[in-house]
Chains A and B, each alone.
Chain A
């Protein structure tokens, strides 16, 4: 057992079309420790979503090494919970059946775990509701519960709150922290929201576009819960912003 939950090294990916090849990811090194919360931020086209899909095993066309708990990632699995930008719940199933998905609620063990998850994401009273009856934030919490009920080693989140309004987004960030504190699952979050990255993570990874590579890794040493208007928070925001603005020397990759 290593201390790293997820290990990515020398990862490169190229999209090839008939007449040209585009480097989407170039020599990316990143490791995620157990119980760590890491955010990836960068301009659109920097390959951050592609990186997450590769980590999830949804995209296996790459060069390099991707390991989960020391084992090569060769395809999607329950070990790597994935939260899409849209909730992607099954519209024909109630909240509890969505969380259970292919597991049977008649099994008392499953029933208990599903109930625990519903409590964790604070959706008591909505067990029998259909997705169409839920708000965007609630639906995304169901999606998180659906992933967590399967005890993943890492939760991969692809701009999960991007489609929510600012107020709901803040609220969802707080509940995600709450879930993380209670559940201790490692989190890898892709976002385009600087505040979100600083508010949530232990480290913020800043990526550069064309080719997609890691430009800076900024540790966030503020204690939780963080105050979005504090001076130290502002200082970190400036740091991330300047990392996003600066184009550093080519071929720079960061070891952790």
Chain B
């Protein structure tokens, strides 16, 4: 699958990051930048290797991923459920949607202190914060997905006498799938963002804690490792959903650029 063209494309996209790293390394080793503030890439790599070997990194990463996943499953799951429900039934939409839209405008960062007040610094407040962040993108997009279903296909479902269940599984869900998957991607990235916020606010485990702890001891290299881990895992989960997208949506006949 990855042919000569693929390698060429990869090299091209890696060119700028590579040049930046080389310039950084040279600048620090030649004394142009402070070693304390900008540890050279080779020393960051060394920190990364040490943390990996001691098992410190995998331990904290595992904790963070678990928090993000639980939060995403609760928040995203509820978002999907309510999105489908309100998309399907005008009555529940009228009942629930205005309240949900109102809550959506509240900045998450602003309610973090409240969550800590109510639920303390424990896991509950973190998971709830992540769940709240993950709720809205999936809610909005699955709602939109249901409302975008071609009503002509509902006529077909009537003529073929689909049961209510089959209308949902054979018409609504597949038709709304592009939007649901988009919502999933946005929810996952929001969940990851909320995780960082939750762990920086106060935690004794997790990648966020690792960064906060390293900052207080001026271990700038470890701060960089934490940031890079956040970026890499975020990108990986996004790619995972995109793979899912290309599998589930191969039927689509749209412009591919």
Contact = CB atoms under 8 A, between A and B. Distances in A.
A77 B170 CA distance: 18
Given A84-B152, A102-B166, A132-B253, A90 B159 contact: no
Nearest to A101: B160
Nearest to B254: A132
B155 A78 contact: no
Contact of B251 (A77, A86, A102, A132): A132
Interface string B125-168: 00000000000000000000000000011011011111100100
A56 B161 CA distance: 12
Contacts of B175: 92
Contact of B160 (A86, A93, A130, A150): A150
A75 B162 CA distance: 13
Interface string A34-59: 00000000000000000000001010
A58 B170 contact: no
A101 B174 CA distance: 13
Interface size class for chain A? 20 to 34
A199 interface: no
B166 A58 contact: no
A230 to B, nearest CB: 37
A91 interface: yes
Given A90-B170, A92-B177, A102-B166, A76 B159 contact: yes
A215 interface: no
Given A88-B152, A91-B253, A132-B251, A56 B174 contact: no
Contacts, number: 57
Interface residues of B, number: 21
Contact of A93 (B155, B251, B253): B251
B155 A146 contact: no
B160 A91 contact: no
A82 interface: yes
B252 interface: yes
Contact of B152 (A81, A86, A92, A150): A86
Contacts of B158: 58, 75-76
Nearest to A132: B253
B102 to A, nearest CB: 35
Contacts of B166: 102
6 contacts: A76-B158, A78-B160, A90-B153, A92-B174, A93-B174, A102-B163
Interface of B: 152-153, 155-156, 158-163, 166, 170-171, 174-175, 177, 249-253
